[in-house]
Structure 1
Amino acid sequence: MIEPRVALVGAGWVVRQVWAPLLVQQQAQIVSVIDPQADAAGAFPALAPAPRWHRCMSDQALRGCNLALICSPNVHHVHQALRAMDQGLHVILEKPACLSLAEAECLIQRSRASATELLVSAAASHRSDVRALVAAVAGGAIGTLHCLDISWRRQRGIPRPGSWFTQAGQALAGSGADLGWHLLEVALQVLDYPLVEAALYHHVAAPGDAGEHQASWRAEQAAAAEARIEVESQSFSCLKVEGGPLIRMSTAWASHQERDATRITLYGSAGELQLHTTFGFSQNRVAQPSLTLTVDGRTTPLAFAAEDNVAPYRAFLRQHLATLGSSPQAREGEYRKLRSLASAMSALYPHLSSSGAAPSVQ
Protein backbone atom coordinates (compact mmCIF):
# COMPACT_ATOMS: atom_id res chain seq x y z
CA MET A 1 0.00 0.00 0.00
CA ILE A 2 1.36 3.41 -0.93
CA GLU A 3 0.98 6.39 1.37
CA PRO A 4 -1.35 8.77 -0.49
CA ARG A 5 0.01 12.28 -0.98
CA VAL A 6 -2.88 14.10 -2.52
CA ALA A 7 -3.41 17.03 -4.85
CA LEU A 8 -6.97 18.30 -4.44
CA VAL A 9 -8.01 19.73 -7.78
CA GLY A 10 -10.98 21.92 -6.88
CA ALA A 11 -11.93 23.14 -3.41
CA GLY A 12 -15.72 23.31 -3.62
CA TRP A 13 -18.32 22.21 -1.09
CA VAL A 14 -18.01 18.45 -1.59
CA VAL A 15 -14.21 18.62 -1.31
CA ARG A 16 -14.27 20.70 1.87
CA GLN A 17 -17.10 18.88 3.58
CA VAL A 18 -16.66 15.30 2.36
CA TRP A 19 -13.49 14.33 0.48
CA ALA A 20 -10.84 16.20 2.47
CA PRO A 21 -12.01 15.03 5.93
CA LEU A 22 -12.31 11.45 4.69
CA LEU A 23 -8.86 11.49 3.11
CA VAL A 24 -7.40 12.63 6.43
CA GLN A 25 -9.28 9.83 8.21
CA GLN A 26 -7.66 7.36 5.80
CA GLN A 27 -4.19 8.68 6.72
CA ALA A 28 -3.69 10.49 3.43
CA GLN A 29 -1.65 13.71 3.38
CA ILE A 30 -3.15 16.62 1.45
CA VAL A 31 -0.08 18.22 -0.10
CA SER A 32 -1.55 20.60 -2.65
CA VAL A 33 -4.83 22.45 -3.30
CA ILE A 34 -5.39 23.56 -6.89
CA ASP A 35 -8.24 26.04 -7.32
CA PRO A 36 -8.37 29.56 -8.81
CA GLN A 37 -10.70 30.90 -6.11
CA ALA A 38 -8.85 33.04 -3.56
CA ASP A 39 -10.63 31.50 -0.56
CA ALA A 40 -9.23 28.07 -1.47
CA ALA A 41 -5.90 29.12 0.08
CA GLY A 42 -7.44 28.96 3.56
CA ALA A 43 -10.07 26.30 2.94
CA PHE A 44 -8.44 23.70 5.19
CA PRO A 45 -7.14 25.52 8.29
CA ALA A 46 -7.05 22.38 10.42
CA LEU A 47 -4.56 20.55 8.20
CA ALA A 48 -1.00 20.28 9.43
CA PRO A 49 1.25 20.67 7.61
CA ALA A 50 -0.80 23.17 5.63
CA PRO A 51 -1.15 22.27 1.95
CA ARG A 52 0.31 24.43 -0.78
CA TRP A 53 -2.17 26.53 -2.77
CA HIS A 54 -1.97 26.86 -6.54
CA ARG A 55 -4.34 28.69 -8.86
CA CYS A 56 -3.90 26.21 -11.72
CA MET A 57 -2.50 22.77 -12.41
CA SER A 58 1.22 22.78 -13.13
CA ASP A 59 4.27 20.61 -12.57
CA GLN A 60 4.94 22.60 -9.41
CA ALA A 61 1.36 22.10 -8.18
CA LEU A 62 1.69 18.33 -8.58
CA ARG A 63 5.18 18.10 -7.10
CA GLY A 64 5.40 15.69 -4.19
CA CYS A 65 1.97 14.15 -4.93
CA ASN A 66 1.11 10.64 -6.03
CA LEU A 67 -2.69 10.98 -6.21
CA ALA A 68 -4.91 13.65 -7.76
CA LEU A 69 -8.54 13.96 -6.69
CA ILE A 70 -10.17 15.94 -9.48
CA CYS A 71 -13.33 17.81 -8.47
CA SER A 72 -13.00 20.82 -10.76
CA PRO A 73 -15.65 22.09 -13.21
CA ASN A 74 -16.63 19.30 -15.60
CA VAL A 75 -15.02 20.88 -18.64
CA HIS A 76 -11.56 20.47 -17.04
CA HIS A 77 -11.86 16.84 -15.88
CA VAL A 78 -10.30 15.09 -18.85
CA HIS A 79 -7.32 17.32 -19.58
CA GLN A 80 -6.47 17.64 -15.87
CA ALA A 81 -6.60 13.87 -15.43
CA LEU A 82 -4.36 13.39 -18.46
CA ARG A 83 -1.82 15.88 -17.14
CA ALA A 84 -1.80 14.27 -13.69
CA MET A 85 -1.26 10.80 -15.16
CA ASP A 86 1.54 12.18 -17.36
CA GLN A 87 3.25 13.23 -14.12
CA GLY A 88 2.87 9.70 -12.71
CA LEU A 89 -0.05 10.44 -10.37
CA HIS A 90 -2.94 8.09 -9.80
CA VAL A 91 -6.29 9.80 -10.40
CA ILE A 92 -9.72 9.80 -8.81
CA LEU A 93 -12.22 11.59 -11.06
CA GLU A 94 -15.39 13.05 -9.57
CA LYS A 95 -18.57 12.58 -11.59
CA PRO A 96 -19.18 13.04 -14.42
CA ALA A 97 -15.70 11.75 -15.19
CA CYS A 98 -16.18 12.51 -18.87
CA LEU A 99 -19.04 13.05 -21.27
CA SER A 100 -18.06 11.00 -24.31
CA LEU A 101 -16.74 7.55 -25.14
CA ALA A 102 -13.85 9.14 -27.07
CA GLU A 103 -12.74 10.94 -23.92
CA ALA A 104 -12.99 7.71 -21.93
CA GLU A 105 -10.76 5.89 -24.40
CA CYS A 106 -8.21 8.71 -24.23
CA LEU A 107 -8.14 8.51 -20.43
CA ILE A 108 -7.82 4.72 -20.48
CA GLN A 109 -4.96 4.77 -22.98
CA ARG A 110 -3.07 7.32 -20.87
CA SER A 111 -3.65 5.29 -17.70
CA ARG A 112 -2.22 2.19 -19.37
CA ALA A 113 0.75 4.04 -20.82
CA SER A 114 1.66 5.65 -17.50
CA ALA A 115 0.82 2.58 -15.35
CA THR A 116 -1.35 4.77 -13.13
CA GLU A 117 -4.73 4.08 -11.57
CA LEU A 118 -7.76 5.78 -13.09
CA LEU A 119 -10.66 5.63 -10.65
CA VAL A 120 -14.15 7.05 -11.08
CA SER A 121 -15.68 8.19 -7.80
CA ALA A 122 -18.48 5.74 -7.05
CA ALA A 123 -20.45 6.66 -3.95
CA ALA A 124 -23.78 5.22 -5.10
CA SER A 125 -22.54 1.69 -5.64
CA HIS A 126 -20.97 1.69 -2.17
CA ARG A 127 -24.27 2.44 -0.42
CA SER A 128 -25.55 -0.34 1.86
CA ASP A 129 -29.02 -0.30 0.28
CA VAL A 130 -27.57 -0.49 -3.23
CA ARG A 131 -25.28 -3.35 -2.23
CA ALA A 132 -28.35 -5.21 -0.91
CA LEU A 133 -30.20 -4.55 -4.17
CA VAL A 134 -27.27 -5.77 -6.29
CA ALA A 135 -26.92 -8.88 -4.13
CA ALA A 136 -30.62 -9.69 -4.54
CA VAL A 137 -30.33 -9.46 -8.33
CA ALA A 138 -27.16 -11.58 -8.35
CA GLY A 139 -28.96 -14.17 -6.22
CA GLY A 140 -31.69 -14.54 -8.85
CA ALA A 141 -34.45 -12.89 -6.81
CA ILE A 142 -36.14 -11.36 -9.86
CA GLY A 143 -34.97 -13.67 -12.64
CA THR A 144 -34.20 -12.17 -16.05
CA LEU A 145 -34.18 -8.37 -16.07
CA HIS A 146 -36.54 -6.67 -18.53
CA CYS A 147 -36.38 -3.00 -17.58
CA LEU A 148 -34.78 -0.66 -15.02
CA ASP A 149 -36.58 2.50 -13.90
CA ILE A 150 -34.18 4.93 -12.21
CA SER A 151 -35.01 8.41 -10.96
CA TRP A 152 -33.60 11.08 -8.66
CA ARG A 153 -35.82 14.12 -8.40
CA ARG A 154 -35.34 17.01 -6.01
CA GLN A 155 -37.88 19.61 -5.01
CA ARG A 156 -35.35 22.44 -4.60
CA GLY A 157 -31.86 21.30 -5.43
CA ILE A 158 -30.20 23.42 -8.12
CA PRO A 159 -26.49 23.61 -7.21
CA ARG A 160 -25.52 27.28 -6.89
CA PRO A 161 -27.54 28.95 -9.69
CA GLY A 162 -25.23 31.16 -11.70
CA SER A 163 -22.08 29.23 -10.71
CA TRP A 164 -20.04 26.90 -12.93
CA PHE A 165 -22.53 24.10 -12.15
CA THR A 166 -25.13 25.87 -14.25
CA GLN A 167 -22.92 27.41 -16.97
CA ALA A 168 -22.91 25.46 -20.23
CA GLY A 169 -19.26 26.28 -20.92
CA GLN A 170 -18.12 24.89 -17.55
CA ALA A 171 -20.62 22.17 -16.57
CA LEU A 172 -21.36 21.09 -20.17
CA ALA A 173 -24.54 19.32 -19.00
CA GLY A 174 -27.06 19.53 -16.17
CA SER A 175 -29.08 17.20 -13.98
CA GLY A 176 -28.80 14.25 -16.37
CA ALA A 177 -25.02 14.21 -16.00
CA ASP A 178 -24.99 15.29 -12.35
CA LEU A 179 -27.70 13.17 -10.73
CA GLY A 180 -27.96 10.77 -13.66
CA TRP A 181 -24.34 9.65 -13.38
CA HIS A 182 -25.06 8.26 -9.89
CA LEU A 183 -28.22 6.50 -11.09
CA LEU A 184 -26.45 4.98 -14.09
CA GLU A 185 -23.59 3.90 -11.86
CA VAL A 186 -26.10 1.61 -10.12
CA ALA A 187 -28.10 0.51 -13.17
CA LEU A 188 -25.07 -0.29 -15.29
CA GLN A 189 -23.42 -2.16 -12.42
CA VAL A 190 -26.50 -4.38 -12.14
CA LEU A 191 -26.09 -5.14 -15.86
CA ASP A 192 -22.31 -5.74 -15.54
CA TYR A 193 -21.36 -2.49 -17.27
CA PRO A 194 -22.48 -2.93 -20.89
CA LEU A 195 -22.14 -0.20 -23.48
CA VAL A 196 -25.16 2.00 -24.15
CA GLU A 197 -26.09 1.82 -27.83
CA ALA A 198 -28.67 4.59 -28.13
CA ALA A 199 -30.92 6.92 -26.17
CA LEU A 200 -34.10 8.91 -26.58
CA TYR A 201 -34.02 11.97 -24.34
CA HIS A 202 -35.78 15.20 -23.49
CA HIS A 203 -33.75 17.80 -21.59
CA VAL A 204 -35.84 20.48 -19.89
CA ALA A 205 -34.74 24.05 -19.20
CA ALA A 206 -34.65 25.42 -15.66
CA PRO A 207 -37.61 27.29 -14.15
CA GLY A 208 -37.60 31.07 -14.50
CA ASP A 209 -37.23 31.53 -10.73
CA ALA A 210 -34.13 29.32 -10.50
CA GLY A 211 -32.80 31.20 -7.47
CA GLU A 212 -35.80 30.01 -5.48
CA HIS A 213 -34.82 26.40 -6.19
CA GLN A 214 -31.23 26.54 -4.91
CA ALA A 215 -29.87 23.57 -2.96
CA SER A 216 -30.06 24.93 0.58
CA TRP A 217 -27.98 22.21 2.28
CA ARG A 218 -24.81 23.39 0.52
CA ALA A 219 -24.76 26.45 2.84
CA GLU A 220 -23.29 28.65 0.11
CA GLN A 221 -23.96 32.20 -0.96
CA ALA A 222 -27.52 32.72 -2.18
CA ALA A 223 -28.02 32.93 -5.92
CA ALA A 224 -28.57 36.27 -7.58
CA ALA A 225 -32.15 36.86 -8.60
CA GLU A 226 -31.13 37.12 -12.26
CA ALA A 227 -28.93 33.98 -12.21
CA ARG A 228 -29.21 32.07 -15.46
CA ILE A 229 -29.28 28.30 -15.73
CA GLU A 230 -27.75 27.34 -19.09
CA VAL A 231 -27.95 23.55 -18.67
CA GLU A 232 -30.99 21.35 -18.19
CA SER A 233 -32.79 21.29 -14.87
CA GLN A 234 -34.70 18.10 -15.71
CA SER A 235 -33.95 15.20 -18.02
CA PHE A 236 -36.10 12.30 -19.21
CA SER A 237 -34.55 9.48 -21.19
CA CYS A 238 -34.73 5.88 -22.33
CA LEU A 239 -31.44 4.08 -22.94
CA LYS A 240 -30.81 0.84 -24.84
CA VAL A 241 -27.83 -1.23 -23.76
CA GLU A 242 -26.02 -3.86 -25.80
CA GLY A 243 -27.94 -7.12 -25.60
CA GLY A 244 -29.85 -6.03 -22.54
CA PRO A 245 -33.00 -4.45 -21.16
CA LEU A 246 -34.12 -0.85 -21.29
CA ILE A 247 -33.12 1.79 -18.76
CA ARG A 248 -35.68 4.56 -18.19
CA MET A 249 -34.23 7.53 -16.33
CA SER A 250 -35.62 10.74 -14.87
CA THR A 251 -33.63 13.46 -13.09
CA ALA A 252 -34.62 16.84 -11.68
CA TRP A 253 -32.81 19.56 -9.80
CA ALA A 254 -36.20 21.23 -9.27
CA SER A 255 -39.67 19.68 -9.36
CA HIS A 256 -43.12 19.84 -7.78
CA GLN A 257 -42.75 16.81 -5.51
CA GLU A 258 -42.70 17.09 -1.72
CA ARG A 259 -39.48 15.22 -0.97
CA ASP A 260 -36.14 14.83 -2.70
CA ALA A 261 -36.35 11.16 -3.62
CA THR A 262 -34.42 8.45 -5.43
CA ARG A 263 -36.28 5.44 -6.82
CA ILE A 264 -34.74 2.42 -8.49
CA THR A 265 -37.18 -0.22 -9.73
CA LEU A 266 -36.02 -3.39 -11.45
CA TYR A 267 -38.57 -5.43 -13.40
CA GLY A 268 -37.72 -9.10 -13.92
CA SER A 269 -39.28 -12.35 -15.05
CA ALA A 270 -39.58 -13.65 -11.48
CA GLY A 271 -40.31 -10.46 -9.52
CA GLU A 272 -39.65 -6.77 -8.98
CA LEU A 273 -37.23 -4.92 -6.74
CA GLN A 274 -37.72 -1.33 -5.62
CA LEU A 275 -35.39 0.95 -3.67
CA HIS A 276 -37.01 4.15 -2.35
CA THR A 277 -34.56 6.49 -0.64
CA THR A 278 -32.67 9.77 -1.12
CA PHE A 279 -29.17 9.83 -2.56
CA GLY A 280 -26.84 12.68 -1.70
CA PHE A 281 -26.88 15.26 1.07
CA SER A 282 -30.29 16.93 0.91
CA GLN A 283 -32.06 17.28 4.24
CA ASN A 284 -35.47 17.08 2.55
CA ARG A 285 -35.19 13.30 2.53
CA VAL A 286 -37.40 10.25 2.35
CA ALA A 287 -38.20 9.60 6.02
CA GLN A 288 -38.08 5.80 5.89
CA PRO A 289 -35.91 4.40 3.09
CA SER A 290 -36.97 0.96 1.90
CA LEU A 291 -35.90 -1.90 -0.33
CA THR A 292 -38.68 -4.32 -1.26
CA LEU A 293 -39.07 -7.48 -3.32
CA THR A 294 -42.46 -8.18 -4.91
CA VAL A 295 -43.28 -11.67 -6.21
CA ASP A 296 -46.79 -12.82 -7.20
CA GLY A 297 -48.42 -9.82 -5.55
CA ARG A 298 -46.62 -10.29 -2.24
CA THR A 299 -44.17 -7.61 -1.14
CA THR A 300 -41.33 -8.42 1.25
CA PRO A 301 -38.97 -5.84 2.80
CA LEU A 302 -35.26 -6.58 2.43
CA ALA A 303 -32.82 -5.55 5.15
CA PHE A 304 -29.84 -3.24 4.74
CA ALA A 305 -27.57 -1.50 7.23
CA ALA A 306 -28.36 2.04 8.36
CA GLU A 307 -25.59 4.52 7.56
CA ASP A 308 -24.89 8.24 7.35
CA ASN A 309 -24.69 10.20 4.09
CA VAL A 310 -20.90 10.16 4.03
CA ALA A 311 -20.53 6.39 4.55
CA PRO A 312 -20.49 5.47 0.82
CA TYR A 313 -17.66 7.93 0.15
CA ARG A 314 -15.76 6.54 3.12
CA ALA A 315 -16.23 2.98 1.84
CA PHE A 316 -15.05 3.99 -1.64
CA LEU A 317 -11.84 5.52 -0.31
CA ARG A 318 -11.17 2.69 2.14
CA GLN A 319 -11.45 0.13 -0.65
CA HIS A 320 -9.38 1.90 -3.27
CA LEU A 321 -6.68 3.57 -1.22
CA ALA A 322 -5.77 0.20 0.29
CA THR A 323 -4.90 -1.22 -3.15
CA LEU A 324 -3.80 1.92 -4.97
CA GLY A 325 -1.30 1.04 -7.68
CA SER A 326 -1.15 -2.67 -6.85
CA SER A 327 -3.91 -4.37 -8.86
CA PRO A 328 -3.75 -4.35 -12.69
CA GLN A 329 -6.79 -6.64 -12.80
CA ALA A 330 -8.87 -4.15 -10.81
CA ARG A 331 -7.65 -1.45 -13.19
CA GLU A 332 -9.28 -3.24 -16.11
CA GLY A 333 -12.56 -3.34 -14.19
CA GLU A 334 -12.40 0.43 -13.73
CA TYR A 335 -11.83 0.87 -17.46
CA ARG A 336 -14.91 -1.20 -18.22
CA LYS A 337 -17.01 0.86 -15.82
CA LEU A 338 -15.76 4.13 -17.29
CA ARG A 339 -16.51 2.99 -20.85
CA SER A 340 -20.03 1.97 -19.88
CA LEU A 341 -20.83 5.24 -18.11
CA ALA A 342 -19.20 7.32 -20.83
CA SER A 343 -21.23 5.54 -23.52
CA ALA A 344 -24.37 6.56 -21.65
CA MET A 345 -23.23 10.18 -21.56
CA SER A 346 -22.41 10.02 -25.29
CA ALA A 347 -25.94 8.81 -26.01
CA LEU A 348 -27.55 11.45 -23.77
CA TYR A 349 -25.39 14.36 -24.97
CA PRO A 350 -24.37 13.56 -28.55
CA HIS A 351 -23.62 17.24 -29.27
CA LEU A 352 -20.72 17.04 -26.80
CA SER A 353 -19.07 14.13 -28.61
CA SER A 354 -20.14 14.68 -32.21
CA SER A 355 -16.62 15.50 -33.38
CA GLY A 356 -15.30 12.19 -32.05
CA ALA A 357 -11.93 13.83 -31.42
CA ALA A 358 -9.85 12.89 -28.41
CA PRO A 359 -9.10 15.81 -26.08
CA SER A 360 -5.72 17.44 -25.86
CA VAL A 361 -3.84 18.30 -22.69
CA GLN A 362 -4.02 21.99 -21.82
Structure 2
Amino acid sequence: MSGGGVLIDLGSHMIDQMLFLTDAPEPVACLAGLHSRPAQEGDYSNWLGSAESVTLEVEDTAMGMIQFANGMLGRIHVSWQDDVEGDFVEIHLKGSRGSLSLRTLFGFSNQGLYKQPSLQFTPAGQEPEWFTFPPKTDVLIDFRRQACHFAECIREAKQHDITAEDGEKAIRLIQLLYQSAHKGLVAT
Protein backbone atom coordinates (compact mmCIF):
# COMPACT_ATOMS: atom_id res chain seq x y z
CA MET A 1 0.00 0.00 0.00
CA SER A 2 2.90 2.41 0.59
CA GLY A 3 4.41 1.99 -2.89
CA GLY A 4 7.58 0.44 -1.50
CA GLY A 5 9.23 -0.82 1.64
CA VAL A 6 10.15 1.05 4.77
CA LEU A 7 13.27 2.48 3.11
CA ILE A 8 11.08 4.36 0.63
CA ASP A 9 8.29 5.12 3.10
CA LEU A 10 10.16 6.30 6.21
CA GLY A 11 13.74 6.21 4.95
CA SER A 12 13.14 8.92 2.37
CA HIS A 13 12.23 11.37 5.15
CA MET A 14 15.19 10.39 7.33
CA ILE A 15 17.59 10.70 4.38
CA ASP A 16 16.08 14.12 3.61
CA GLN A 17 16.82 15.16 7.19
CA MET A 18 20.37 13.80 7.03
CA LEU A 19 21.10 15.70 3.84
CA PHE A 20 19.42 18.90 5.07
CA LEU A 21 21.15 18.94 8.46
CA THR A 22 24.62 18.11 7.15
CA ASP A 23 24.67 19.56 3.63
CA ALA A 24 26.38 16.29 2.70
CA PRO A 25 28.35 16.09 -0.55
CA GLU A 26 28.00 13.23 -3.03
CA PRO A 27 28.12 9.68 -1.64
CA VAL A 28 31.13 7.53 -2.47
CA ALA A 29 30.03 4.19 -0.98
CA CYS A 30 26.93 2.54 0.52
CA LEU A 31 26.36 -0.64 2.48
CA ALA A 32 22.83 -1.72 3.36
CA GLY A 33 20.74 -4.62 4.58
CA LEU A 34 16.99 -5.23 4.32
CA HIS A 35 14.83 -7.56 6.34
CA SER A 36 11.22 -8.65 6.19
CA ARG A 37 9.92 -10.88 8.92
CA PRO A 38 6.66 -12.74 8.47
CA ALA A 39 3.76 -10.81 9.95
CA GLN A 40 1.36 -12.55 12.26
CA GLU A 41 -2.33 -11.80 11.91
CA GLY A 42 -3.04 -8.68 13.95
CA ASP A 43 0.67 -7.72 14.26
CA TYR A 44 0.47 -4.55 12.24
CA SER A 45 -2.34 -2.43 10.91
CA ASN A 46 -2.24 0.40 8.43
CA TRP A 47 -3.48 3.93 9.08
CA LEU A 48 -7.00 2.86 8.12
CA GLY A 49 -6.94 0.34 10.96
CA SER A 50 -7.16 -2.80 8.83
CA ALA A 51 -4.69 -5.67 9.04
CA GLU A 52 -1.98 -5.85 6.42
CA SER A 53 -1.38 -8.99 4.42
CA VAL A 54 0.48 -11.76 6.25
CA THR A 55 2.81 -11.98 3.23
CA LEU A 56 5.01 -8.90 3.09
CA GLU A 57 6.29 -8.14 -0.40
CA VAL A 58 8.67 -5.42 0.77
CA GLU A 59 11.18 -4.94 3.57
CA ASP A 60 9.93 -3.89 6.98
CA THR A 61 13.40 -3.02 8.31
CA ALA A 62 16.29 -1.30 6.53
CA MET A 63 19.75 -0.40 7.81
CA GLY A 64 22.48 1.32 5.90
CA MET A 65 25.70 3.25 6.04
CA ILE A 66 26.71 5.92 3.55
CA GLN A 67 30.19 7.37 3.16
CA PHE A 68 30.30 10.81 1.60
CA ALA A 69 33.08 12.44 -0.44
CA ASN A 70 34.22 14.58 2.52
CA GLY A 71 34.66 11.51 4.77
CA MET A 72 31.37 12.01 6.61
CA LEU A 73 29.52 8.80 7.50
CA GLY A 74 25.73 8.61 7.59
CA ARG A 75 23.78 5.77 9.16
CA ILE A 76 20.10 4.99 8.80
CA HIS A 77 17.88 2.45 10.55
CA VAL A 78 14.15 2.47 9.83
CA SER A 79 11.54 -0.15 10.61
CA TRP A 80 7.82 -0.77 10.69
CA GLN A 81 8.20 -3.77 13.01
CA ASP A 82 11.13 -3.29 15.37
CA ASP A 83 10.56 -4.57 18.87
CA VAL A 84 10.41 -1.23 20.65
CA GLU A 85 8.02 0.30 23.18
CA GLY A 86 6.54 2.84 20.79
CA ASP A 87 7.07 4.93 17.67
CA PHE A 88 10.01 7.33 17.73
CA VAL A 89 12.66 9.07 15.69
CA GLU A 90 16.20 9.72 16.87
CA ILE A 91 18.59 11.80 14.82
CA HIS A 92 22.22 11.98 15.96
CA LEU A 93 24.90 14.28 14.55
CA LYS A 94 28.47 13.90 15.77
CA GLY A 95 31.41 16.08 14.83
CA SER A 96 34.75 17.32 16.06
CA ARG A 97 33.15 20.12 18.13
CA GLY A 98 30.40 18.06 19.75
CA SER A 99 27.15 16.27 19.06
CA LEU A 100 23.42 16.85 18.73
CA SER A 101 20.68 14.29 19.38
CA LEU A 102 17.05 14.93 18.52
CA ARG A 103 14.37 12.66 19.98
CA THR A 104 10.92 13.11 18.56
CA LEU A 105 7.97 11.43 16.88
CA PHE A 106 7.47 11.31 13.15
CA GLY A 107 3.87 11.32 12.01
CA PHE A 108 0.60 11.04 13.84
CA SER A 109 1.10 7.99 16.03
CA ASN A 110 -0.61 7.97 19.38
CA GLN A 111 1.92 5.36 20.53
CA GLY A 112 4.92 7.66 20.53
CA LEU A 113 7.78 6.74 22.84
CA TYR A 114 8.80 10.40 23.09
CA LYS A 115 5.64 12.36 23.86
CA GLN A 116 7.62 15.60 23.92
CA PRO A 117 10.46 16.32 21.46
CA SER A 118 13.85 17.08 23.00
CA LEU A 119 17.27 18.08 21.76
CA GLN A 120 20.53 17.18 23.48
CA PHE A 121 23.61 19.28 22.75
CA THR A 122 26.95 18.00 23.97
CA PRO A 123 29.96 20.25 23.31
CA ALA A 124 33.13 18.16 22.93
CA GLY A 125 34.50 17.23 26.35
CA GLN A 126 31.59 18.82 28.24
CA GLU A 127 28.36 17.72 29.89
CA PRO A 128 25.24 17.39 27.74
CA GLU A 129 22.49 20.01 27.81
CA TRP A 130 18.85 19.04 27.16
CA PHE A 131 16.36 21.36 25.51
CA THR A 132 12.63 20.64 25.23
CA PHE A 133 10.20 22.04 22.71
CA PRO A 134 6.83 23.55 23.60
CA PRO A 135 3.90 21.21 22.93
CA LYS A 136 2.08 21.65 19.64
CA THR A 137 -1.52 22.62 20.07
CA ASP A 138 -2.25 22.12 16.35
CA VAL A 139 -0.98 18.82 14.89
CA LEU A 140 -1.44 20.17 11.34
CA ILE A 141 0.60 23.35 11.86
CA ASP A 142 3.67 22.03 10.00
CA PHE A 143 1.57 20.98 7.00
CA ARG A 144 -0.07 24.42 6.92
CA ARG A 145 3.35 26.10 7.01
CA GLN A 146 4.53 23.94 4.11
CA ALA A 147 1.40 24.75 2.07
CA CYS A 148 1.75 28.49 2.79
CA HIS A 149 5.43 28.44 1.80
CA PHE A 150 4.57 26.62 -1.44
CA ALA A 151 1.84 29.15 -2.29
CA GLU A 152 4.19 32.04 -1.45
CA CYS A 153 6.83 30.64 -3.83
CA ILE A 154 4.26 30.51 -6.63
CA ARG A 155 2.84 33.99 -5.96
CA GLU A 156 6.24 35.65 -5.62
CA ALA A 157 8.14 33.45 -8.12
CA LYS A 158 10.59 32.51 -5.35
CA GLN A 159 12.75 29.39 -5.21
CA HIS A 160 11.29 26.80 -2.85
CA ASP A 161 13.42 25.97 0.21
CA ILE A 162 13.57 22.34 -0.94
CA THR A 163 14.60 21.90 -4.57
CA ALA A 164 14.04 19.15 -7.10
CA GLU A 165 17.78 18.48 -6.84
CA ASP A 166 17.35 17.82 -3.11
CA GLY A 167 14.68 15.23 -3.88
CA GLU A 168 16.81 13.68 -6.62
CA LYS A 169 19.76 13.34 -4.22
CA ALA A 170 17.59 11.52 -1.65
CA ILE A 171 16.14 9.17 -4.29
CA ARG A 172 19.65 8.44 -5.59
CA LEU A 173 20.75 7.46 -2.07
CA ILE A 174 17.71 5.18 -1.67
CA GLN A 175 18.55 3.52 -5.00
CA LEU A 176 22.16 3.02 -3.90
CA LEU A 177 21.04 1.52 -0.58
CA TYR A 178 18.68 -0.91 -2.34
CA GLN A 179 21.44 -1.80 -4.80
CA SER A 180 23.84 -2.48 -1.94
CA ALA A 181 21.27 -4.61 -0.09
CA HIS A 182 21.00 -6.85 -3.16
CA LYS A 183 24.65 -6.84 -4.30
CA GLY A 184 26.85 -5.88 -1.34
CA LEU A 185 29.04 -2.82 -0.93
CA VAL A 186 28.37 -0.26 -3.67
CA ALA A 187 31.00 2.28 -4.60
CA THR A 188 29.66 5.20 -6.61
* Aligned mates of 1:196, 1:263 — CA distance in 2: 22
In the other structure, the counterpart of 1:142 is none
Name the SS of the counterpart of 2:122 in structure 1.
strand
Name the SS of the counterpart of 2:70 in structure 1.
coil
Name the SS of the counterpart of 2:107 in structure 1.
coil
Match of 1:346 among 168, 175, 179: 175
Decide which structure has the larger Cα Rg and report it. 1
Q: Are the aligned partners of 1:264 and 1:276 in contact in 2 as well (CA < 8 Å)?
A: yes
Tell me if 1:293 matches 2:124: no
In the other structure, the counterpart of 2:185 is none
Distance 1:318 1:180, change over 3 A: same
Distance 1:332 1:214, change over 3 A: closer
> 1:93-141 CA distances to partner (integer Å, 9 max, x unpaired)?
xxxxxxxxxxxxxxxxxxxxxxxxxxxxxxxxxxxxxxxxxxxxxxxxx
AA of the residue aligned to 2:33: H
Name the SS of the counterpart of 1:227 in structure 2.
coil
In the other structure, the counterpart of 1:271 is 98
> 1:246-269 CA distances to partner (integer Å, 9 max, x unpaired)?
111100101111011100011111
Q: Which runs of 5+ in 1 are unaligned?
A: 1-163, 166-170, 352-362
Tell me if 1:229 matches 2:56: yes
Residues matched between the structures, number: 177
> 1:214-267 CA distances to partner (integer Å, 9 max, x unpaired)?
24xx2x25226x532100000011012232411111001011110111000111
> 1:52-102 CA distances to partner (integer Å, 9 max, x unpaired)?
xxxxxxxxxxxxxxxxxxxxxxxxxxxxxxxxxxxxxxxxxxxxxxxxxxx
If the length of structure 1 is used for normalisation, what is the TM-score? 0.45
Tell me if 1:184 matches 2:184: no
Distance 1:297 1:188, change over 3 A: same
Q: Are the aligned partners of 2:88 and 2:105 in contact in 1 as well (CA < 8 Å)?
A: yes
Name the SS of the counterpart of 1:212 in structure 2.
coil
In the other structure, the counterpart of 1:203 is 34
Q: Percent identity?
A: 25
Distance 1:339 1:189, change over 3 A: same
* Aligned mates of 1:253, 1:288 — CA distance in 2: 21
Match of 2:154 among 305, 313, 324: 324
Q: 4+ residue stretches of structure 1 with deviation over 4 A? A: none
* Structure with the bigger percentage of helix: 1
Q: Are the aligned partners of 1:197 and 1:347 in contact in 2 as well (CA < 8 Å)?
A: no
Q: Which runs of 5+ in 2 are unaligned?
A: 181-188
